[in-house]
Structures are given as structure tokens and as C-alpha cells.
Amino acid sequence: MSAAGETPLGVILAGGKSSRMGRDKAWLSFFGQPLLCRVAAVVRNVVGELWVSGRDPSAFGIDAPWLPDATPGLGPAGGILTVLEAVGRSCLVVSCDLPFLDEATLSRLVAAWRGRPGGALMTTFRIVETGYVESLVAVYDPAGLALLRESLGRGERRLSGIFPEALRCHIDYSRADTDTARPFFNVNSPPDLVLARGMETGS
């Protein structure tokens, strides 16, 4: 459990190749600004401090420290490992492809992290119908570094596999609750983008 006023460092994972989309997702425009800028503003408004993993954000006009992956090709888990090793503190980690991420969702996550049980290394949201965890809207604690290293060393890259249920603190939500589910919609492919455009305009 953390002190009531403690705040994790905000981290955006932005090092992906956008291969399924066919173009750089971070530059997709939503609500009048590049997606990376929109996500950065939401994260900063909740936690204040922001780092970017995987790319230099200055091209977007974002003034924030950044880190290339220490070992490229390990996916999001590799980016999280790199950042946790560099900063040595808890990190609120989100992917850069979440156009509907909002401050209320992240504030709820930070509150759950502050009240997490002892031994929880990952605080995240979970879909009640499927058990799926939102591993790219989560807080990771540096006490999980050894587990990350060991798991990546044996080829396990899925964050839900690296941090099993016993090591997580969950906020459960239902897919039927569209207002709660909307912030987790990510834009990975052209069909996702079509759906997101409809959500953006309300059509």
C-alpha cells in the first residue's frame, strides 16, 4: 500500500511499429490533435510527470524525457522493464493508441493502486465477462523487475502471463457498461480506426 498522496510516474508506450495499421498510429488525429499528444495531455493532467518509452516525443511538441528500449523487440514488456530500471519507481503505463482514454479512468486506477494489497505488483482493470486484463492501462511497481527480467529471458512477453492473478490488483468492469469500457478502445488496425471515427463523431 502507498501513501495517500503518492503518485506514480506517467509513462506512454510509443515504440511500436504500427504494422497492423500500416501507418504511424501516434500521428493519427483525434479531437484535433495527434493521438500521442492527446494521450500525453490526459496522463499529465492526472499524474503530472510524464516519460515516453520508445521514441523521442519532441517531434510532437511534447517536452518529456524518453527512453529507447534497452533490448529492442520485446514488445510492451520490454519498454516497461526499461523504464522501471531507469526510474526505480512505480509507473502508470498506457499505450499511445487510446483515443478515448480519460482522466476519470486514470484517477480511478491511481486510487486503486494507492489502496492495493501488499504483494500486488500490477494494478489494472479487468473485464468481468472474460477475465481479460487491461495490461496497457496499468500501474507497475519496481518490485516486479526481477519477474520481468526472468519472464522475458524465457520468452514470456505477455504482461498478464508475467504478472499472474495473485500478483495483481483488479478494478473489475463490464463490457456492457459502455461508458466505462470506452476509454480502453485501442486503434490497432484500419477496421479499428473506422470504428473509432464513428465513436469520435457519435455516429
**pTM for this model (two decimals):** 0.93
Show the domain range for 24. Answer: 9-201
Q: What is the pLDDT of residues 43-80, one digit of tens each?
A: 999 999 999 999 999 999 999 999 998 888 899 999 99
Q: What is the pLDDT of residues 138-170, one digit of tens each?
A: 999 999 999 999 999 999 999 999 999 999 999
Instruction: Give the residue from 111, 109, 154 showing the smallest Cα distance to 136.
Output: 109
Number of structural domains found in the chain: 1
Task: Tell me if 4 is assigned to some domain.
Answer: no
Task: Tell me if 2 is assigned to some domain.
Answer: no
Query: CB under 8 Å to 188, separation ≥6 — which residues?
Result: 20, 21, 25, 97
Specify the CATH number for the domain of residue 167.
Answer: 3.90.550.10
